[in-house]
Amino acid sequence: MECVVQGIIETQHVEALEILLQGLCGVHRERLRIHELCLKSGPNLGVVASEVQLLCDLEQPEPTWTVRHVGGAMRGSGAEQISVLVRTMVESKVSKNALRLFYALGYKLDHELLRVGFAFHFQRGAQITITVSSVNKMPKLHATDEALPVTPGIQLVEVTAPASVGKLSRSCCCNVLFL
Amino acid sequence: MPLKWVLQWQPNAGTTVNSQILNEVSQCVETINGVKEGRWKATLTFYKPMIREQAVPTDYPRDFLGISLPEQPNKYYFIIRGQRIVLEADSSIQTIMEKLQSYKSRVALIFEGFQYQLGDFQLRVGKVVPSHSENLRGIVMEVEYLPISSLDKSRQIMEEFLDIWQEAVSKRSLPGHFTHIEPNFAEYGLSDHYSSQHTAVQYATVMAQLIASVQTVQSVRN
């Protein structure tokens, strides 16, 4: 499970936000360049249609791959009491042939995008991650070098923290809200 | 990492594996001065596609394998043999597969037994049983040569070791022998430098051999 808060910011204010975050988090920023591939199950495959994301971290000397599954958001009275999105999220680091495996299993590429920006990772009650990134689309398949912003002049801000199942960490949510 | 060969017991025609053979093989390791170190266990799971409408033809793999190995307890391996794909993932990939509900784990086979140290070699002898029964389906043996990681460079010493081993086993007049089938690792995109992905591919090959031998026995009976 993870707590998530998302928002947007104009690119002209990103530099100031970065300085603010640097002071708040007390750690240096890390560059972010992630190729995200969203796959959907082929026709007739699975009890219900399913989606999975493959993330390729292009910032590493040798790109690394992660498979991510994002579940539905928490609902009900508990969810109404908090202002953050709480959802299931499972990640697994995988070898570089993950895309070939999922194609072989019958998954198809739905869309892909390139996230470019920076991130802060730090510990404050929970392991918190803040990312500020522009979301880019690719004119041709997998052409990350030719990616163009989806929303020029606007960037996405995302704050995430893990939440354990059954006892949603109040401090984690408070921290996310505080930030 | 050190390379290993995964061998399987091939029963003579008309015979099947039994626990007595496993006991004799284990004793045989001790007679050549293998020192018992502890237990080991690997698990191999068959995943099958969950198809919404059975009548509609699909070209999804009929099944693929998920393997957990004692040498990498936090990793999990998927293998689609037909397409020569081996994937290494964190163990959490199993949770992702459950959540996707597109493939379901059906049958699991456990490979388990004892580990022995013998000079620069590490041997693991074990039985193959379904996860919810004690029906012996096969016997496997891992031979690991600790100083070398190159498959090519180690081939000669591995073959020499196997000659000595086969001679020791043959003295017991057991109804069968160990066989080693080396998969074509290059087809899976694996190099000469040994990794746990090589081990996973070897287990998948042993599994295919086990299924083939069971089918042969059944066709002889019929």
Identify the CATH number of the domain in which residue A70 sits.
2.40.320.10
B52–A42: do the CB atoms touch at under 8 Å?
Answer: no
* B55 in any annotated domain: no
Report the distance separating Cα B111 and Cα B177, nearest Å: 18
The size of the A-B interface in CB pairs under 8 A is 98
User: What pLDDT sits at residue A71?
Assistant: 93
Q: Residue B84 above 60 pLDDT? A: yes
Q: Average pLDDT in the B5-19 region?
A: 93
A104–B96: do the CB atoms touch at under 8 Å?
Answer: no
Which pLDDT band holds residue A77 (cuts at 50, 70, 90)?
confident
Closest partner residue to B52 (CB to CB) among A44, A88, A98 is: A44
* B154 in any annotated domain: yes
Query: Which of B15, B216, B11, B203 minimizes the C-alpha distance to B109?
Result: B203
Mean pLDDT (chain B, rounded): 94
Report the distance separating Cα B204 and Cα B54, nearest Å: 27
Q: Residue A174 above 70 pLDDT? A: no
Q: Residue B65 above 60 pLDDT? A: yes
Q: Which residue did the predictor score with more confidence, A91 or A125?
A: A91
Q: Average pLDDT in the A87-95 region?
A: 96
pLDDT digits (tens, 9 = 90+) for B170-182: 999 999 999 999 9
User: What pLDDT sits at residue A170?
Assistant: 55
Q: Give how far B34 is from chain A: nearest CA, Å.
A: 36
- The 3-state DSSP class for residue A109 equals strand
- Chain B residues touching chain A at CB-CB below 8 Å: 49-53, 56, 58-61, 64, 78, 80, 83, 85-93, 95-96, 99-103, 189, 197
User: What pLDDT sits at residue B54?
Assistant: 82
Which pLDDT band holds residue B222 (cuts at 50, 70, 90)?
low
Closest chain B residue to A44, measured at CA: B52
Closest chain B residue to A90, measured at CA: B96
Q: Average pLDDT in the B178-194 region?
A: 97
Q: Which residue did the predictor score with more confidence, A9 or B55?
A: A9
Q: Residue A179 above 60 pLDDT? A: no
**Lowest mean pLDDT across A110-119, A160-169, B114-123:** A160-169
**Structural domain total, chain B:** 1
How many degrees, rounded to 5, is the angle at CA B52 between CA B48 and CA B55?
A: 95
Closest partner residue to B85 (CB to CB) among A44, A46, A104 is: A104
Which pLDDT band holds residue A167 (cuts at 50, 70, 90)?
low
**Structural domain total, chain A:** 1
Burial (Cβ within 10 Å: 0-12, 13-18, ≥19) of residue A16: exposed
| CATH number of the structural domain spanning residue B67 | 2.40.320
- The 3-state DSSP class for residue B215 equals helix
Domain that holds residue A86: 2-178
Domain that holds residue B185: 3-50+60-221
Candidates B85, B102, B196, B198, partner chain A, best to mutate (most A CBs within 10 A): B102
Q: Give how far B60 is from chain A: nearest CA, Å.
A: 6
Q: Residue A56 above 60 pLDDT? A: yes
B189–A41: do the CB atoms touch at under 8 Å?
Answer: no
Q: Average pLDDT in the A129-147 region?
A: 97
Would you report the helix, strand and coil content of chain B in percent, each value rounded to 5? Answer: 35, 35, 30
